[in-house]
Amino acid sequence: MRTLIILTLLAVLVMAATCYESHESMESHEYLNPFINRQRANDFIQGDTRLEAISQDRIRKRIKTHLERQREICEDYRPCENYAFQHGYAAAYRHYFGRRRTK
């Protein structure tokens, strides 16, 4: 019985020592709010603010590449899209639209 009480006290002491959270860990601002907003997250990255870079980025977003246009054409035609699932969009576009069929 005496050893059981000693072991229980020892277990409580070990648990108190390992589960104790110090005051220093609670002082951190990340403890209360670990997430930051987008503006603060992007503060350290400076974008290229030159007018030429901004206009190039806008042009790049507006103009689609040749492959992207082909993919959209293939997506609009159901048999081409089904073929693309098995063989890829480039092969499907070549298969259905690569050669112009004239009769």
What is the average per-residue pLDDT within 50-57? 75
Contact between 53 and 33 under an 8 Å Cβ cutoff? The reply is no
The tens digit of pLDDT for each residue in 4-50 reads 999 999 999 888 878 766 666 555 555 566 677 766 766 666 666 67
Whether 79 maps to a domain, the answer reads: yes
Tally of domains within the chain: 1
Whether 96 maps to a domain, the answer reads: yes
Whether 4 maps to a domain, the answer reads: no
Whether 82 maps to a domain, the answer reads: yes
Read off the tokens for 11. 């277990």
**Pairwise CA distance, residues 101 & 103, whole Å:** 7
Whether 98 maps to a domain, the answer reads: yes
* Predicted structure pTM score: 0.40
Domain span holding position 75 = 65-102
Whether 94 maps to a domain, the answer reads: yes
**Pairwise CA distance, residues 10 & 86, whole Å:** 66
